[in-house]
Amino acid sequence: MNVPDTVTTALADRPVDGRTCLEAGAGVGNMTAALVEGGAERVYAITNDADHATKVRDRTGQASSVAVLEADLEATPLPADAVDVVTAHALFNVLEPSSAVAIAEELTRVAAPGAHLVVDDYAPIPTDAAVRHLFAIENAAAELAGRRPALTFYPVDGLRRLFGGLGWEFDRTRTLLDPVPWTESHFSAHVDVVRSHAEAVPGDLGEQLVAAAEDVAAETGSEEVGEMYSLAMWLPETTSRA
């Protein structure tokens, strides 16, 4: 099902065969596809985006093991202790801190004792990177339009401590990309996001943000910078979950 190398690498040392798995934040379903290929008995793919849910259903339509659920992970529609493997591939960078904490709590609630967790994401981007400038413009537009940031980049140690505080034990970290290849199409997709937020920004500030984002994209084209990491943890059989 054409799974990116980052996803394959992150899952390579995880026990997926015959397990019940959750892809938290399904996007286009890369992790769901990899979990199916890895022999998962059941895969729950959860996203709050209707278009993403449709894409994941189309992509994995033949796999009876997959259930695509359109829902907010802050109220994950699964019972406690239901999942053996929890994955969050490139989810946390689209979560503001309060949502990240609420979702980490929910992922812990639905994880069975002995469960495995894989969280893959982008490390904070170096301050001199052009792509960081573009994301700053995107966040400004998102804050002005909707009072919340579009993107937050968490250090791997921050997520390790967040999940550690909920009872998970550290297993390993692994580098998935170093540097991260931010392509022309990434730049252009993020300029489009700035445009969509700018419509709701009053006055001519929105237009100025779009112009600034277009300038960064035109001047930079593409850029290789930053790191994508994979964090793996596991939940002890007898844990005192916070």
Residue 60, interface with ligand SAM (CB under 6 A)? no
Residue nearest to ligand SAM (CB): 27
User: Who's near 215: CB < 8 A, 6+ residues apart?
Assistant: none
Considering only CA atoms, give the Rg of the chain.
Answer: 18
Residue 31, interface with ligand SAM (CB under 6 A)? yes
Residue 47, interface with ligand SAM (CB under 6 A)? yes
Residue 117, interface with ligand SAM (CB under 6 A)? no
- In the chain, the amino acid numbered 44 is Y
The residue range among 72-80, 178-186, 196-204, 216-224 that interacts with ligand SAM, by the rule CB under 6 A, is: 72-80
The residue range among 86-94, 126-134, 160-168, 176-184 that interacts with ligand SAM, by the rule CB under 6 A, is: 86-94
Residue 21, interface with ligand SAM (CB under 6 A)? no
Residue 26, interface with ligand SAM (CB under 6 A)? yes
Subset of 136-155 contacting ligand SAM (CB under 6 A): none
Minimum separation from the CB atom of position 59 to ligand SAM (A): 10
Residue 116, interface with ligand SAM (CB under 6 A)? no
Residue 215, interface with ligand SAM (CB under 6 A)? no
Number of residues in contact with ligand SAM, rule: CB under 6 A? 23
Of 7 and 212, the one with the shorter C-beta distance to ligand SAM is: 7
Residue 91, interface with ligand SAM (CB under 6 A)? yes
Among 14, 22, 27, 139, binds ligand SAM (CB under 6 A): 27
User: Who's near 14: CB < 8 A, 6+ residues apart?
Assistant: 38, 85, 116, 118, 232
Among 48, 173, 222, 239, binds ligand SAM (CB under 6 A): 48
- Catalog residues that contact ligand SAM under the rule CB under 6 A: 7, 23, 25-31, 46-49, 52, 72-74, 89-91, 94-95, 99
